[in-house]
Structure 1
């Protein structure tokens, strides 16, 4: 495969209502079938009128920008000082919801296209129907990446090609079947186009030639295929936000036993996690002997049917009222630590005849 990345100079300033297809076709009469057209989302937004008026400077500008950001935000992922990483209504996770103040008048902000896939489809159709050239279209924008410094362009919308090249089920040269490999090829092509477009060169469109042997006859599923389903998202919150969410859950949740025998190592980790912060003399014991546990459980009032484990808690002696308050707090600490290990618990009175002060059914 031999790739060429070609700039499309001469687009000029784009304003609301401009005909992007005509502007691109005029600036690049050399476009060929099966080229990949990489278009900066900003000029798409400008043509579609996705701009808002704001004060040029001062606190009024900041307040107006915050209002716009709130409107474009579906969910806050992380916040550090003035920086907001949010999920947009499209599903993209981006700094400031992709709102941009560069290459635009100081009294305006540029929002992302309302539907980048639809924008890509419309531009492709206009070039095909009016200029008889059938290309794939990528609408691109700049994003940061977790764990990596620096920015790169990615695809927000695409038409005429698949967003992902799926290698699952293929066999590598060593005979290994590929299980997980799905390449976000439209992101790679968007990044390649950015090498030519740049940020200050006023070249908002690039052409990647030689990647496709043929565009799709239909538009395809679009870049929405790149948005990970929420149930598969392992990084849906920033670190501080996840910690705060966990603390809120610990304060309000009351998870009971789950019916599955707890991992003794996990229970030991939970007990060790609170060992240095509980009151002197407080002790927690995981009863692992089946026969001993059965004997103790038989004398516990209200033992849950789905509980499969037992932790005994002993308060320091002698016990006065402040000690009991502290012991209750220590029990809650342990329940939180168990919950962090995925182990639900229920607080119960101690077994009859035991020296324990309370027990946790797990």
Structure 2
């Protein structure tokens, strides 16, 4: 895996946000009464809280200065993915409106420029329940299946696997993050030598259905 110094080309969500115009100036935001009340309890900027609420379909948990929401995409994350890093002061960056579409656009552009048919992951940094530290996960992708199923295959002892489905796209996103870094302005990493199953289903299979979610 190697860094790709393609300045300004959206390979991960950080460059994808400004490239798609997903920047909001907080001074232009009018906080709602709900945002004002929540901001007081969270000790957060009410303008920021208003943006977070606009990017959310529901609030999952609000406590100790932390606001966890479900985004309109279905992702569960802090602050609806609204990011204050790597942007000018008084601005925030929002997640892409449709990350799979963003990934397809990158794939099509690379193909047009180089003739190479690459697979693309749009990633973002998320926290994890019951675990310290952050990791990158796939929020959009193009060209390959995000899950790798071993269901029905047998282990060395001959037992059939009944629950092993790897989140392959998330594993690749997490592995790429140390290569790109948080402060190095490297927007993409190139992965070589990996065989992937072609698919156009995007990132949706990574979302667990609410009926199968034990914590919802």
- Local SS of the residue matching 2:191: strand
Greater RCO (CA < 8 Å, at least 6 residues apart): 2
Q: 1:132 to 1:215 in 2, by over 3 A?
A: farther
Find out whether 1:176 has 2:165 as its counterpart: no
1:115: which partner in 2?
A: 98
Contact persistence 2:81–2:94 (CA under 8 A): yes
* 1:95-174 alignment runs, 5 A limit: 95-174=78-157
- Local SS of the residue matching 2:104: helix
Gap regions ≥5 residues in structure 1: 15-19, 22-38, 237-362
1:338: which partner in 2?
A: none
1:249: which partner in 2?
A: none
1:41 to 13, 17, 23: 13
**Matched residues in 1 for 2:138 and 2:55: separation?**
18
Shift, 1:70, TM fit? 0.7
* 1:204-243 alignment runs, 5 A limit: 204-212=187-195, 216=198, 219-236=199-216
**Matched residues in 2 for 1:202 and 1:49: separation?**
18
Shift, 1:79, TM fit? 1.2
* 1:2-81 alignment runs, 5 A limit: 5-9=1-5, 11=7, 14=8, 20=9, 39-55=11-27, 62-81=45-64
Choose 1 or 2 for highest CA Rg: 1
1:316: which partner in 2?
A: none
Could you give the per-residue CA deviations for residues 231-274 of structure 1, whole angstroms, max 9, x where no partner exists? 111112xxxxxxxxxxxxxxxxxxxxxxxxxxxxxxxxxxxxxx
Note the aligned Cα RMSD (angstroms).
1.9
Shift, 1:129, TM fit? 2.7
TM-score normalised to the size of structure 2? 0.89
**Matched residues in 1 for 2:65 and 2:54: separation?**
17
TM-score normalised to the size of structure 1? 0.54
Contact persistence 2:6–2:188 (CA under 8 A): no
User: Which structure carries more strand by proportion?
Assistant: 2
Contact persistence 2:82–2:94 (CA under 8 A): yes
Could you give the per-residue CA deviations for residues 182-236 of structure 1, whole angstroms, max 9, x where no partner exists? 1000100001110101111111111111112x662xx521111101111111112
**Off by >6 Å, runs of 4+ in structure 1:** none
**Matched residues in 2 for 1:68 and 1:192: separation?**
30
- Local SS of the residue matching 1:130: helix
- Local SS of the residue matching 1:69: helix
Contact persistence 2:6–2:187 (CA under 8 A): no
**Matched residues in 2 for 1:223 and 1:163: separation?**
6
**Matched residues in 1 for 2:127 and 2:84: separation?**
17
Contact persistence 1:117–1:158 (CA under 8 A): yes
How many residue pairs were aligned?
A: 203
